[in-house]
Amino acid sequence: MSSNSRAASLFDPALIKPAIVESFRKLDPRVQIRNPVMFTLEIVALVATILMIRDIAGGAKGIGFTVQIVIWLWATLLFANFAEAVAEGRGKAQADALRRTRTETVAKRLLNVGDMFEQVRAPDLQIGDVVLVEAGDTIPGDGDIIEGVATVDESAITGESAPVIREAGGDRSAVTGGTRVLSDRIKVRITTAAGSSFLDRMIALVEGAVRQKTPNEIALNILLAGLTVIFLFAVASIPSFVDYAGGAVSIVVLIALFVTLIPTTIGALLSAIGIAGMDRLVRFNVLATSGRSVEAAGDVDTLLLDKTGTITLGNRQATAFLPVRGITELELAEAARLASLADDTPEGRSIVVLAKEKHGLRGMEMGELKARFVPFSANTRMSGVDYEGAVIRKGAVEAVIEHAQSLGIGKMIPPDAERIANDIARQGGTPLAVSKNGQILGVVHLKDIVKGGIRERFAELRQMGIRTVMITGDNAVTAAAIAAEAGVDDFLAQATPEAKLKLIRAEQAKGKLVAMCGDGTNDAPALAQADVGVAMHTGTAAAREAGNMVDLDSDPTKLIEIVAIGKQLLMTRGALTTFSIANDVAKYFAIIPAMFLAFYPQLGVLNVMGLSTPQSAILSAIIFNALIIIALVPLALRGVRYQPSSAAALLRRNLLIYGLGGIIVPFIGIKAIDVVVSAIGLA
Amino acid sequence: MTVNGWIQILIFIAIIVALARPIGGYMDRVLQGERTFLSPVLGPVERGFYWLAGVKPTENQSWWAYGSGMLIFHLFGFVLLYGLQRLQGMLPFNPQDMGAVAADLAANTAISFITNTNWQNYGGESTMSYLVQMAGLTVQNFTSAATGIALAVALTRGFASAESKGIGNFWADLTRITLYVLLPMCIVLTLFYVWQGVPQNLSAYVEATTVEGGKQVIAQGPVASQLAIKMLGTNGGGFFNTNSAHPYENPTALSNLVQMLSIFVLGAAMTNVFGRRVGDERQGWAIFAAMGVLFVVGVVITYWAEAGGNPLLTAVGVDPSAGNMEGKEVRFGAAMSALFAVVTTAASCGAVNAMHDSFMPLGGAIPLINMLLGEVIVGGVGAGLYGMLLFAILSVFIAGLMVGRTPEYVGKKIEAREVKMTMLAVLCLPLVVLGFTALATVLPVGLAGPAAAGPHGFSEIFYAFTSGAANNGSAFGGLTGNTMFYNSTIAITMAVGRFAMIVPMLAVAGSLAGKRKTAVSVGTFPTHGGLFIGLLIGVVLIVGGLTYFPALALGPIAEHFAMLAGTVF
């Protein structure tokens, strides 16, 4: 995985400088209006500035306090912009790297006859054009290989330096514009128009140019705008109340109170959290076509996982030699080893390895044996060797028995051979019979090896309330055995694309959100139906179009991490919202007594923090309000710590940290700032 | 504070807890149109009404149809009640020859009664004929209460149903609640009050000669029947000016207990109806528990404040052992007056058995805060439940993200539309309360109202608009409300407090009803445990507290600390 090479430190100096410039550029009201809380802040900051200028022009005394408030109002706004700019900057750095790879390519467009081609500029290619790409050429656009096979360097997209094989037909026919063919030649039919290719989309995505607010973000913005209006009522009514009580309160102080009350903290960090969430996915080499799907990932209830490659290692391995009665295990192991020496399949190699590990059998390579190797064929369903007159075969149980009967002169088929084979099948394994000169020696147990640690992962998922369903083409008996070993909650055996689609619909009808990954064209309907469909980058163009995420590493296990990233994004948003609102309690206790002390001295009791002067109290509250944004930027970008556990446990923990913490922290923070402010004589 | 006082408070709480489930079960059956033990008698009556009105009770109305039906119904209610007041001089059942009620007062009163507020800028025995009391005010007491319950049930249907276009039938809900719930219970309660000594007649007022030889006019009337629904429907509009402090409207300690119980019983039972509708009664108990905690804390503070007496009076030699008895009836004492005050303001009833104006600053602050929180502590019948459910939506939305899923409540995703409508509903209360209070505290017409000076005068104004917006109707007292300014502003406040909240609330119901129900797993935000109860309480207090802290600081809080410092205004 290449995520390390792409990771940038949180506050890379190279990112900070442009971010600071960007913070000022973002003061443009046309940018701010997208965020109601910050737009409100900008308006009141402007009003406060005008009042300050009027006071200065009028030669008012004691203007220092007003000037400081105004400075901190603008600082709050700049800090918010800075948070967003840093988050965007990290994406931009990646986008620039991608853009450098998108050099002007010249395509070889094939004419209707033979291998004749004309040279055209890549952007001029039309959908449906067929181009020839030879070793050393850059593929001019996204498309499907219609002829040939080639090794392709896709490091520009995936960051993975090892070349991959792409070939016509099957599930590995898609190629991406901007990648380079290393060997051979292929013909590619262009499937996307220039400007909307995968690379273009990826650049736009990481850059945040096409970033739209996600549904949850929109809802949260409405809540924050609503709270802002409530606080507007609360603050705007104060002058009349104060007037009734025979006092007076300055507009700048009211503005300070208003700004500290409105949820500036979460308002400032909201878009940074969203950008950082997408960014985490990109760093993880997963591209989401929309933020919506990242949110949906957090909500997933059911994960459909392919057995092969996700739950089990890709290949079966020999785990035991089970001789029939009258044969020793060593005899069986020796015969099985000989039959497999020339067998290059992973299964064959695993038999050799097992014989060596269990019985110390080694030496004697094929060359020294002067043996004749009989390769596997679909017809015979066996492979083996003819060696010094001995005929050794291994293969499917029925095939080997048939072979033994055809050879066996009066030799009995051992009755326990079939029993052993059935036992193995029941345990989810594949039995492989071995015979020598028509004599059945025993059965080799080939087993699907469940990946290490996967059982624990599934247990974690269960704790999070996520159900896992294993999808496999195996029969039900085998599937059940593997499912039990891997600890999945359910399985779908002999799965066809239709069966997958039906399963997804059934789960959704029960009110569940389903995530799955797939690569083949026949996965496309299910990918489209699933709430989160992760297409493998190696998959077909159809699959990539149907899914709402693409995994550049083509690693189906990542589905689990994608869910975690989605959850982390939502949790970060919730935690900072809670924190922001809880903060208001302390701010009231700082400002209310300061505001009313002049005419109701008894309200000094509410000054529980013992802030030194009314002016210092108000100033400290507004400084805290600004600084907390900067303090929380790393948390917004990194996301809150996420441990898989039940919702009740997560809620308890987060409410304690961000709810209760959100009430307590500002009391301490404001007091500390007050000590500093009065010590250096700011107020 | 006395042991006796606490025992009485505990008895009250125990009875409410015991009644919530059985009555909730009965109401749920009624509201689903299922058979109950009263069906043989009332079924034909119910069907008769539908036939007369041409209503199809099985028609599932959209939130829009449900809401418009409700609004049109109330428009007619307003016209009827306004007309009756204006024309009462020409109409029968008027032994005292009451003249037409002034236009602004009549409009204020009409809005007050259709909104379940029962703010009274009039004195019942000196303004209203028996016809207006019976056919006007009492009728609205029934329908406004039934409407509140109907609306709450519509919202619970929104949570309960899946991918449905409708939220029930307003006409059927209204008919069923009135017929099967309110009427039977009121008949029983009326008989009980008559037994306790409450008058129920149409006689002229009686003139009596006192022991000292003075003349005294003793008011009469159909009191018991109006009293029953005034409490049960959390209306609170007294037959007499002094409301349930009047010996004819609340003669005994027993009648006092039953009155308090009937204020709370339907509101408490509604939480159980909610639980049953969403298929998990624990959800209802969680809402009930959140309300319960807020209620008990309020009772403790108020009782503590009232039982302690006024330190300024103690300093000049008044015996503090009975507590602060100014404005209280001796037959109820500090404990039952404090409990009544908390019950009536928590539940948006507004009936009083003591004068809240005379409470200690903190004792009077609790009724005020109960209303400011949006009448969600049991609340008005139905209104309390839908108010609290809106807060539940907010709580889930704010903190629900912290479990790593987009927010959901009882199987329904909370999205932009729900948040928008909930915020609109939550916004309307501070808008009118703070807006009109700000207006009244600077305009001379407003400043003419309060009787007291200083922070207490501010509290009187603040309390009046709060009571109106929260549809409570209790008066702090002291404020001269029957003026053009207060009649009109409080009328607007009441209408906004009721309808500006209901319409977005119904939109939430409609939006929720159309959604698919999501499955519950251990990854789902659990909304039936102590954690959620605590969160809900926290959100109610923080939202309410943040909105009104400046106003409260300038009212009761300033007054309290001034009193401790020995400052008077």
Q: What would the pLDDT profile of B454-486 be if each residue is shown by its tens digit?
A: 888 899 999 999 999 999 888 877 788 888 999
Please say if the pLDDT value at position A2 is more than 60. Answer: no
Residue corresponding to tokens 């009350």: A261
Strands of the sheet with A549-551, listed across from one edge: A286-288, A549-551, A532-536, A514-518, A302-306, A467-471, A490-492
Residue-by-residue DSSP string for A611-650: -S-HHHHHHHHHHHHHHHHHHHHHHHHH--------HHHH
Residue of A nearest to B418 (CA): A219
Provide the shortest C-alpha distance from residue B186 to chain A (in Å). Answer: 40
* 3-state SS assignment for residue A121: strand
Say if the Cβ atoms of A570 and B397 lie within 8 Å. Answer: no
Q: For residue B165, how many other CB atoms are within 10 A of its CB?
A: 12
pLDDT at B450: 84
β-bridge mates for residue A435, sequence order: A393, A440
Please check whether residue B463 lies inside any domain of the structure: yes
Say if the Cβ atoms of B402 and A513 lie within 8 Å. Answer: no
pLDDT at B449: 82
Span B431-457, average pLDDT: 89
| Residue A215 with chain B: CB contacts under 8 Å | 406, 415-416
CB B307 within 8 A of CB B226: no
* 3-state SS assignment for residue A263: coil
Nearest to B339 by CA among B62, B51, B15: B15
Instruction: Read off the pLDDT band of A1 (50, 70, 90).
Output: very low
Size of interface A-B (CB pairs under 8 A): 225
Q: For residue B137, how many other CB atoms are within 10 A of its CB?
A: 26
User: Which of B415, B420, B549 is opposite residue A215, by nearest beta carbon?
Assistant: B415
Residue corresponding to tokens 């009274």: B120
Q: What is the CA radius of gyration of chain A?
A: 34
pLDDT at A103: 59
Span A168-195, average pLDDT: 80
Angle at the Cα of B244 (from B241 to B248), degrees rounded to 5?
85
More confident residue, A226 or A342: A226
More confident residue, A430 or B69: B69
Spell out the residues 6+ positions from residue B63 whose beta carbon is closer than 8 angstroms to its own.
B154, B158, B167, B506, B507, B509, B510, B511, B513
* 3-state SS assignment for residue A395: strand
Instruction: Read off the pLDDT band of A279 (50, 70, 90).
Output: confident
Span B521-527, average pLDDT: 82
Note the pLDDT tens digit of each residue in A189-217: 888 777 777 777 777 766 665 567 788 88
Span A39-51, average pLDDT: 94
Say if the Cβ atoms of A648 and B531 lie within 8 Å. Answer: yes
Number of helices and strands in chain B (H, E): 23, 4
Determine which of A44-48, A391-395, A407-411, B19-23 has the lowest per-residue pLDDT on average. Answer: A407-411
User: Which of B397, B548, B554 is opposite residue A596, by nearest beta carbon?
Assistant: B554
Residue corresponding to tokens 């529980």: A608
Please check whether residue B74 lies inside any domain of the structure: no
Say if the Cβ atoms of A234 and B546 lie within 8 Å. Answer: yes
Note the pLDDT tens digit of each residue in A435-458: 888 888 889 988 888 877 888 888
Please check whether residue B145 lies inside any domain of the structure: no
Say if the Cβ atoms of A655 and B405 lie within 8 Å. Answer: no
Provide the shortest C-alpha distance from residue B273 to chain A (in Å). Answer: 24
Say if the Cβ atoms of A243 and B442 lie within 8 Å. Answer: yes
pLDDT at A632: 94
| Residue B557 with chain A: CB contacts under 8 Å | 603, 606
Q: What is the 3-state secondary structure (H, E, C) of B414-455?
A: CCHHHHHHHHHHHHHHHHHHHHHHHHHCCCHHHHCCCCCCHH
User: Which of A242, A301, A603 is opposite residue B521, by nearest beta carbon?
Assistant: A301
| Residues A459, A466: Cα–Cα separation, whole Å | 9
Total length of chain A: 683
Nearest to B469 by CA among B449, B499, B443: B499
pLDDT at A104: 66
Note the pLDDT tens digit of each residue in A303-328: 888 887 778 776 778 888 888 888 88
| Residue A231 with chain B: CB contacts under 8 Å | 546-547
Instruction: Read off the pLDDT band of A124 (50, 70, 90).
Output: confident
Span B425-444, average pLDDT: 93
Say if the Cβ atoms of A237 and B567 lie within 8 Å. Answer: no
Determine which of A569-573, B107-111, B241-245, B368-372 has the lowest per-residue pLDDT on average. Answer: B241-245
Spell out the residues 6+ positions from residue B79 whose beta carbon is closer than 8 angstroms to its own.
none
CB B347 within 8 A of CB B379: yes
b/e map of A27-45 (b: 16 or more CB within 10 Å)? Answer: eeeeebeebbbbbbbbebb
User: Which of A237, A465, A654 is opposite residue B435, by nearest beta carbon?
Assistant: A237
- Report the run of H or E that residue A109 belongs to, with start and end: strand A106-110
| Residue A655 with chain B: CB contacts under 8 Å | 399, 402, 531, 535
Determine which of A98-102, B334-338, B451-455, B496-500 has the lowest per-residue pLDDT on average. Answer: A98-102
Spell out the residues 6+ positions from residue B270 whose beta carbon is closer than 8 angstroms to its own.
B24, B27, B149, B152, B381, B382, B384, B385
Interface-testing mutation among A230, A468, A569, A645, with chain B (most B C-beta atoms within 10 A): A230
Q: Percent of chain B at pLDDT above 70?
A: 100
Please check whether residue B367 lies inside any domain of the structure: no
Say if the Cβ atoms of A242 and B415 lie within 8 Å. Answer: no
The upper half-sphere exposure of residue A437, i.e. CA atoms within 13 Å in the direction of its Cβ, equals: 7
| Residues B463, B366: Cα–Cα separation, whole Å | 11
| Residue B548 with chain A: CB contacts under 8 Å | 234
Provide the shortest C-alpha distance from residue B74 to chain A (in Å). Answer: 29
Average pLDDT, chain A: 83
User: Which of A234, A238, A298 is opposite residue B405, by nearest beta carbon?
Assistant: A298
Determine which of A155-159, A331-335, A623-627 has the lowest per-residue pLDDT on average. Answer: A155-159
Say if the Cβ atoms of B517 and A606 lie within 8 Å. Answer: no
Span B391-403, average pLDDT: 89
More confident residue, A553 or B296: B296
Note the pLDDT tens digit of each residue in B168-216: 999 999 999 999 999 999 999 999 999 999 989 888 888 888 888 888 8
B242: DSSP letter: T
Interface-testing mutation among A651, A652, A653, with chain B (most B C-beta atoms within 10 A): A651
Determine which of A607-611, B164-168, B214-218, B285-289 has the lowest per-residue pLDDT on average. Answer: B214-218
Provide the shortest C-alpha distance from residue B270 to chain A (in Å). Answer: 26
| Residues A140, A567: Cα–Cα separation, whole Å | 38
CB A228 within 8 A of CB A37: yes
Spell out the residues 6+ positions from residue A405 whose beta carbon is closer than 8 angstroms to its own.
A413, A438
Please check whether residue B540 lies inside any domain of the structure: yes
Provide the shortest C-alpha distance from residue B405 to chain A (in Å). Answer: 5
User: Which of A220, A235, A578 is opposite residue B399, by nearest beta carbon?
Assistant: A578
The upper half-sphere exposure of residue A334, i.e. CA atoms within 13 Å in the direction of its Cβ, equals: 9
Provide the shortest C-alpha distance from residue B462 to chain A (in Å). Answer: 10
Residue of A nearest to B427 (CA): A230
More confident residue, A360 or B129: B129
Instruction: Read off the pLDDT band of B23 (50, 70, 90).
Output: very high
Query: What's the domain count of chain B?
Result: 1
pLDDT at A240: 93
| Residue A584 with chain B: CB contacts under 8 Å | 542, 546
Please check whether residue B510 lies inside any domain of the structure: yes
Say if the Cβ atoms of B414 and A219 lie within 8 Å. Answer: yes
Determine which of A113-117, A514-518, B274-278 has the lowest per-residue pLDDT on average. Answer: A113-117
| Residues B421, B390: Cα–Cα separation, whole Å | 9
Residue-number span of the structural domain to which B523 is assigned: 382-564
| Residue B407 with chain A: CB contacts under 8 Å | 216
Provide the shortest C-alpha distance from residue A588 to chain B (in Å). Answer: 8
Please check whether residue B395 lies inside any domain of the structure: yes
pLDDT at A364: 57
| Residue B441 with chain A: CB contacts under 8 Å | 240-241, 243-244
Instruction: Read off the pLDDT band of A548 (50, 70, 90).
Output: confident
Q: What is the CA radius of gyration of chain B?
A: 23
Asked whether this complex has an ipTM greater than 0.85, the answer is yes
Please say if the pLDDT value at position B220 is more than 60. Answer: yes
Q: Percent of chain A at pLDDT above 90?
A: 22
Nearest to A472 by CA among A304, A613, A610: A304
| Residue B543 with chain A: CB contacts under 8 Å | 230
Instruction: Read off the pLDDT band of A4 (50, 70, 90).
Output: very low
Please check whether residue B467 lies inside any domain of the structure: yes
Average pLDDT, chain B: 90
Nearest to A3 by CA among A87, A94, A89, A102: A94
User: Which of A215, A222, A511 is opposite residue B423, by nearest beta carbon?
Assistant: A222
pLDDT at A50: 94
Interface-testing mutation among A223, A228, A512, A592, with chain B (most B C-beta atoms within 10 A): A223
The upper half-sphere exposure of residue A332, i.e. CA atoms within 13 Å in the direction of its Cβ, equals: 23
User: Which of A236, A261, A463 is opposite residue B522, by nearest beta carbon?
Assistant: A463
pLDDT at A406: 81
Cite the active site residues of A.
Answer: 306
Residue of B nearest to A292 (CA): B406
Note the pLDDT tens digit of each residue in B205-215: 888 888 888 88
Angle at the Cα of A393 (from A389 to A396), degrees rounded to 5?
165
Residue of B nearest to A573 (CA): B401
